[in-house]
């Protein structure tokens, strides 16, 4: 069984330790026109190489999924360069972002079938003329509800999945609407085990996580360190509970860090804008290993379970194997 990386297909068994949601570069649509947000692609590449090399060498991460949506600065050739220079496997995605922050007006006029054609082409032949193929499908929904347009994009993702068997990774705003995404996937003929419901860890309610896991999908604790949204203490406590109840097979951990970001986030506080723009340095990509995993260990989570979260679950997700049941019970 093979999975597409930006350097071509590799065997799923060689994925190794995998972070399911990190970014080389992000730029929300329109920010490329902002004269106050200059962009130096060379510098961005060098910064990404520096950060990803540390992740690879010190933290032993072998694979890095960059689920950057099509329209938010996705640069698959930059990912290819970074992958070549670091030896990190990088897997890119096809799919648009939320109605609130993305989806170019041109594509808003298309049917789910037509949008699916674009997704399928990026999965089968590649992005534009690069020949770089996407390895999974990104779905994004906002809050407090999933809009009609977003629902159409979920439908497009379901069509592309049925056609290509590529797995689906989602964005949720603030960790809500996960079960609703799951219901739409089921309606669209997608087995829930092929879906990773992203950013769930923003939600403080353990029942939210249990609902998604019992519904048969992966639960993304994939914004570790993003304390503006949720504290790591709450994340660690919920994840440990989920594991103790036998759902270690459903959880995946990552950080949603960016090596570089272009643009001003006008909705954020000046401190957060500084953090995001890299003016005071972006969040360290090694936080998961330096800070969060020690917190999990304090909760009694052992190395065997960490391997399930960081290696076995990503491999099963890409291989299309069933979710491992009953793992993590003490």
Residue placing its CB nearer to Zn ion in the complex, 151 or 256: 256
The whole-angstrom separation of Cα 255 and Cα 244 is 22
Q: DSSP secondary-structure letter at 295?
A: H
Residue placing its CB nearer to Zn ion in the complex, 220 or 328: 220
| DSSP assignment of 94-157 | E----TTT---HHHHTS-HHHHHHHHHHHHHT-STTS-PPP-EEEEEE-SSS--HHHHHHHHHH
Among 47, 150, 256, 312, binds Zn ion (CB under 5 A): 256
250: helix, strand or coil: helix
Number of residues that bind Zn ion (CB under 5 A): 1
Closest distance between Zn ion and the C-beta of residue 186, in Å? 24
Which range of residues in 72-80, 104-112, 241-249, 255-263 is near Zn ion by CB under 5 A? 255-263
Residue placing its CB nearer to Zn ion in the complex, 169 or 240: 169
Site string for Zn ion, 207-246 (x = CB under 5 A): ----------------------------------------
Residue placing its CB nearer to Zn ion in the complex, 47 or 256: 256
Residues 138/181, Cβ–Cβ less than 8 Å: no
The whole-angstrom separation of Cα 88 and Cα 13 is 15
Which range of residues in 75-83, 100-108, 252-260, 279-287 is near Zn ion by CB under 5 A? 252-260
Closest distance between Zn ion and the C-beta of residue 267, in Å? 16
Closest distance between Zn ion and the C-beta of residue 23, in Å? 6
Number of H helices, E strands in the chain: 13, 12
Closest distance between Zn ion and the C-beta of residue 299, in Å? 25
Residues 316/250, Cβ–Cβ less than 8 Å: no
Residues 3/10, Cβ–Cβ less than 8 Å: yes
Which range of residues in 137-145, 180-188, 254-262, 311-319 is near Zn ion by CB under 5 A? 254-262
Residue placing its CB nearer to Zn ion in the complex, 21 or 161: 21
Q: Which residue is nearest to Zn ion (CB)?
A: 256
Residues 25/68, Cβ–Cβ less than 8 Å: yes
Residues that bind Zn ion (CB under 5 A): 256
């Amino acid at each position: 069984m093979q999975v597409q990386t930006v350097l071509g297909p590799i065997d799923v068994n060689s994925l190794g330790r995998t972070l399911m949601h990190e970014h080389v570069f992000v730029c929300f649509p329109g920010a490329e026109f902002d004269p106050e947000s200059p962009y130096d692609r060379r510098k961005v590449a060098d910064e990404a190489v520096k950060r990803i090399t540390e992740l690879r060498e010190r933290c032993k991460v072998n694979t890095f999924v960059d689920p950057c949506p099509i329209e938010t600065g996705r640069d698959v050739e930059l990912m290819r360069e970074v992958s070549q220079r670091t030896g990190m496997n990088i897997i890119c995605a096809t799919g648009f972002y939320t109605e609130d922050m993305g989806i170019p007006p041109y594509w808003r006029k298309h049917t789910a079938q037509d949008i699916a054609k674009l997704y399928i082409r990026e999965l089968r032949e590649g992005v534009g003329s690069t020949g770089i193929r996407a390895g999974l499908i990104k779905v994004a929904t906002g809050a407090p509800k999933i809009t009609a347009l977003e629902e159409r994009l979920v439908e497009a993702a379901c069509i592309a999945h049925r056609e290509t068997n590529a797995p689906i990774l989602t964005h949720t705003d603030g960790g809500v609407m996960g079960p609703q995404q799951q219901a739409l996937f089921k309606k669209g003929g997608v087995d829930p085990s092929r879906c990773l419901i992203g950013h769930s860890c923003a939600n403080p309610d353990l029942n939210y996580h249990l609902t998604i896991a019992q519904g048969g999908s992966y639960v993304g604790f994939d914004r570790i360190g993003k304390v503006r949204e949720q504290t790591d203490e709450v994340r660690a406590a919920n994840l440990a509970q989920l594991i103790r109840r036998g759902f270690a097979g459903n959880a995946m951990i990552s950080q949603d860090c960016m090596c570089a970001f272009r643009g001003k986030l006008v909705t954020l506080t000046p401190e957060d804008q500084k953090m995001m723009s890299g003016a005071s340095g972006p969040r360290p990509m090694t936080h998961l290993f330096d800070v969060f995993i020690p917190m999990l260990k304090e909760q009694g989570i052992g190395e065997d379970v960490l391997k399930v979260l960081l290696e076995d679950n990503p491999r099963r997700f890409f291989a299309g194997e069933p979710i491992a049941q009953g793992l993590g019970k003490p």
